[in-house]
Structure 1
Amino acid sequence: MKRTILLLALLLAVLLPAPLSLIADEAGVRAEAQAEEAESRSEEKKIDPKEIIFEHLGDGYGWEVPFCHDVRIPLPVIVRDYQGDWHCFSSSRIGHGHSYTVTDSDGAEMTFRLGGHDSKWHNKLVGMRPEVVDGQTQMVEYRPLDFSITKNVCAIFIACLLVMWMVLDVAAWYRKKGYTAPRRATGAIEALIEFIYYGVIKPTLGAKSRKFGPYLLTVFFFILVANLLGLMVIFPGGANITGNIAVTLVLSLITFLIVNIFGTKHYWKEVFWPDVPLWLKFPIPIMPVIELFGVFTKPAALTVRLFANMMGGHIIVIVLTLLIFILGALGAAAAGGTLVVSLIFSVFMLLIDVLVSFIQAYVFTMLSTVFIGLAQEDGHHGKDAHEVPAAPTTTRS
């Protein structure tokens, strides 16, 4: 219990994006921006579904406050300008069309802001630097080296800490109480570990399960936690981690590196000189080209499968919600009917997404296990090659 309290306290201390005073500053800045926008904004404003969808699914330099989307919890912005100087400031200084100007080591002023709709870096942090155009010095946008703690980055840290807490909780139980079966949440986590290890990893990898099991279990729990956090609408949820193709690409690249770095000689022989008729590999290397192409399509399939499934679920829920406002222009009857139908289907889709979150974590882990297992083949298919020891039993108390 003390360990759990300590980890939760550490989570709040390390990942709390900003103090409450910064949130108040953010609210004040937003109030000023609203006053400026009210003068130029027309009374009737059409809803832009595309803009709303990409705003909710994309990354950001702030974390939306529940039920008050205009106010955001600031996050730290860390950038390196074109002169090589580093700057760190709160994201509240660049929100709602505002610019932030800092002074570098040489006394020159550096201005940073978010790219507007007419910028090729829309909603990305950009800097302004002088550039000579047609004999005149003008300020032009450029993309600085950006190491900011964005919403997705912060969510990844939270997911990692939660996975560490889950694993350490199970380890602490067995360290204190031996092989007595755990209960409640600890028992559920242990059941998932046994399900993945003895149901997927052990039957596929056999004696090499202990070598690759830690990575495969880690990636399963990370994807599962990230998927479930993405379904939450309040902090620490709301970040679409696995719906970001950059995140799924990195996970797939790790599997790709493990497969090919630890691949056996037999694996590489089957890639460059497969066991097929000679005319399929010489003089025209038809099969070697296909096998080599397959080496790169495997991580691509892992990337797209996880990204597309999680992104698709979020888009469906957002579109169902937007239908309420789009069809509301037809009248109160249409708005009321759409509200009921959209609410029912949105809740149904969220329940489906909970199941999909587990399925996608399971599928990614299973395919990674299969790819690693294929790379560990040594060419011997004896009787005892695939024997798998039975899962140990625990004593229920």
Structure 2
Amino acid sequence: MTARAQAVFLVNLVQDVNILRPLIVMAQRDFAMDVRVLVSGAFEGRDISGIWRRELAEIAAETRARLDQFRSEFEALALLDGHGVIFAASESHLRGHATCHDVFRVAPASYLRVTLQHGFECVGFRHSGAHKLAHGSTASFAADIVCAWFATEHIDAISAAQRGKLVVTGPSAVLQQFREPLPQDASRPGLVCENLHSVRLNAAGDMKAEFVDVFSAFCKAVDDGTRTPAVCLRPHPGGQYMLRNKVPLPDNVTVENAPMYRLDMRRFAYGISAPSSVLLDMVLAGIPTAVWRDGAGLMDTDNYADLPGVSSLADWVAFARKAQEDPASFASGREAFLARFGLVIDPADVHARYSRIFDMTLRHAPRLAATRTVSGIVAVAPPATD
């Protein structure tokens, strides 16, 4: 009897967990697949707080998934002992994605390889000006299928020879949005997100210091003297710049490091961030959303042109005040942002699109299993070392 088809998930960056989690749940709950989670050796070093290891353990317990660690593509290959589908949320030919890319390159033909878009401005999908300077104008993938969040005409950073791999699925994160009603709370704090590790902030000038200075001044400006948290700071899951660098935080600031699927953004009065995918999360939560832009205008923020921008302290304060007094006035900007890129955000639609990938895998499971039997790799010798 043929073994059950496997759904394998490669975890290398801490932010991979947020992207992969909904599909891990789908694979087990909706398709009864044999779920495997392969975690890279580098993952533990990136998870400085231990939050993400605990999350993976909980996900594995909830879905009866098997957790394995691999330190090279050869160890991963030894764990790929069946047939089915492999998902990666950080795979491309670039050095930062080499771990998953190399696993895809050696994966047996008995597995369908699927790469997921993991950010709004994502390598190989849509590059900002800073991306182009750092990584070039295009990227390529070892995947068979490349899942995109928005209409293909807005994807301009994939190698032309690989456009046939594109499938528009929408972001998996919409499958884990909060739905239950929120209690009314007149004292909702604001949310400020930082991604100061981004290549975008490495342009001329000291943008990191500029952001930290205006953030600190803003927190003091909105301090009402009651010691009630007025601002919640969320560092980037992977970068953690302000925490790693021990940036002093005002007394009215709290830090929120929980995974995005545990953070209900609807409880915030507004959101501010430098250009980052978290802006999309804010927009989807329906809160007034602003993009931080450096005062000199050097940073490329064109992809977020529909959202209001803030630079100076006066801008921050004025935005926060209007967001609290007239939140509905920001709805049109959010709608324009979503419409411009043809983002697929309806949860039922997104679920159906990913379901087609699982359905296809199961439909062709006997053929995939036979492929492994006939031409499967018995062993691959690692490169010789001196």
TM bin, normalised by shorter chain, reads under 0.3
- The alignment's TM-score, normalised by the length of structure 1, stands at 0.22
Q: Which structure has greater helix proportion?
A: 1
Instruction: Determine which structure has more spread, i.e. the larger CA radius of gyration.
Output: 1
- The alignment's TM-score, normalised by the length of structure 2, stands at 0.22
